[in-house]
Amino acid sequence: MRIVLISQSYPPMISGAAIAVQQLAQGLAADGHEVLVLAASDRSQSYTETAVRLRVRRLPSVPNPARVNQRFLVAPLRTMRQAVAEFQPDMIHTHEPLSLGLCGLKIARERQLPVILTLHQLPWFPAMYLPPWPGLRDGVTAVLWRYGGWLVRQFTAVTVPTAMIAQIVQAHTGFRPVPIANGLDLDKFNRQTAVPDEQERLCQKYGLAPHIPVVLHVGRLDKDKRVDLVLRAFAQVPGDAQLLVVGDGRCRQSLIQLSQQLGIAQRTVFPGYVCADGDLPGLYRLASVFLTASEVETFALVAHEAMACGLPVVAVAAACLPEMIEHGVHGFLAPPGDTAALADHINWLVQHPHEAAQMGQSCRQKTVKYGLEQVVYKYEQLYGDSVMTFHNRAKVVFG
């Protein structure tokens, strides 16, 4: 099958969606499909990368003022239309519901192709970046949900990363998408140390004290991730512990200042972005607890990576997180915004390392079903079903 994948970002630009699209593209190509990825260029100019059965076309883009090291496409329809015409695909799969989603939909209709949409974010995500004026965020969220209710019905199929997000979409739109996980590289994220002295080397490299529990947060340091609550929760954890905040974003400097104000700067480390092909798996293995306060996750890739490495998770009971974390089995859930509850859960795990290790083992067992091969296979099945559905509908319409 010849498949076009459309995504705003693609590695080396990093986001959960970008990683998911890359893994899907590479998995499909490895299974013998011809794949074309259309994505924003991470440079000032466009360019193309080629591999076996996989071509990545980076289209002209502009910097994203809201995200560090991110760019996005502006008015890409003409360029995308030309690229699709040259590739002659059997179907189109877009991973963005706004401008790129509409472009993919229009091109698919022009060429009479089945088209799939994957939702990696819901309306609450863009609304968080609006000014806190009375009623503005709620109003915009309501408008976006109405738009979403129309949009999802235009595609041959729609997917989301988890069943809980499918339920949320259905509750707001009356339309239930197909849940297919984003997938995890379980060969990379696991409990096996890369080298015998991995923990000692990482402690020295990142300025961590050996033999003192590490509370780990990984992700974008942007407003929607609520890393400020991570710091406020950690500030309430008694005893010896240290906090490692991995990632970069617009809020990094303000978060460093907040750690100083909270009196935890001496036991908090902000190393910036850490590559998944480098030290990140080892940092998961080094830590005692993974902590997130985000309320907007549709798959929570970094929390799944932590679980795959045998790390119990403390999170808030929002979005997809109650689906992935059974309270008391894989870690603990707290009410959104409740930093005292988050702190209590962290402290319990730090004080009970044996029970924490058992929870970590349960985490690892749960993530086995998210292996990349299984995810690619589910999409291959969906593609086949979508092609059949599309052509059956065409026969009904056109006779």
Kindly report the pTM of this predicted structure.
0.93
Q: Are residues 9 and 144 in the same domain?
A: yes
Q: Are residues 292 and 321 in the same domain?
A: yes
Which pLDDT value is given to residue 64? 85
Q: Are residues 67 and 209 in the same domain?
A: no
Q: Are residues 46 and 139 in the same domain?
A: yes
Q: Is residue 188 assigned to a domain?
A: no
Residues of the chain falling short of pLDDT 50: 396-399
Which pLDDT value is given to residue 176? 97
Q: Are residues 17 and 56 in the same domain?
A: yes
Q: Are residues 225 and 286 in the same domain?
A: yes
Which pLDDT value is given to residue 28? 98
Q: Are residues 112 and 168 in the same domain?
A: yes
Which pLDDT value is given to residue 38? 97
Q: Is residue 94 assigned to a domain?
A: yes
Q: Are residues 130 and 215 in the same domain?
A: no
Q: Are residues 202 and 284 in the same domain?
A: yes
Q: Is residue 245 assigned to a domain?
A: yes
Pairing between β-strand 47-51 and β-strand 54-59 as defined by DSSP bridges: antiparallel
pLDDT in tens, 288-300: 999 999 999 999 9
Which pLDDT value is given to residue 347? 97
- Sign of dihedral through CA atoms 210, 212, 217, 221? negative
Q: Is residue 351 assigned to a domain?
A: yes
The tally of domains found in the chain comes to 2
Q: Are residues 176 and 95 in the same domain?
A: yes
Print the SS3 string covering the chain. CEEEEEECCCCCCCCHHHHHHHHHHHHHHHCCCEEEEEEECCCCCCEEEEECCEEEEEECEEECCCCCCCEEECCCHHHHHHHHHHHCCCEEEECCCCHHHHHHHHHHHHHCCCEEEECCCCCHHHHCCCCCCCCHHHHHHHHHHHHHHHHHHHCCEEEECCHHHHHHHHHHHCCCCEECCCCECCCCCCCCCCCCCHHHHHHHHHCCCCCCCEEEEECCCCHHHCHHHHHHHHCCCCCCCEEEEECCCCCHHHHHHHHHHCCCHHHEEEEECCCCCCCHHHHHHHCCEEECCCCCCCCCHHHHHHHHCCCCEEEECCCCHHHHCCECCCEEEECCCCHHHHHHHHHHHHHCHHHHHHHHHHHHHHHHHHEHHHHHHHHHHHHHHHHHHHHHHHHHHHC
Q: Is residue 193 assigned to a domain?
A: no
Which pLDDT value is given to residue 399? 47
Q: Is residue 226 assigned to a domain?
A: yes
Which pLDDT value is given to residue 397? 47
Q: Are residues 258 and 274 in the same domain?
A: yes
Q: Are residues 325 and 282 in the same domain?
A: yes
Which pLDDT value is given to residue 288? 97
The whole domain housing 35 covers 2-183+371-398
CATH number of the domain that 339 lies in?
A: 3.40.50.2000
Q: Is residue 189 assigned to a domain?
A: no
Q: Is residue 192 assigned to a domain?
A: no
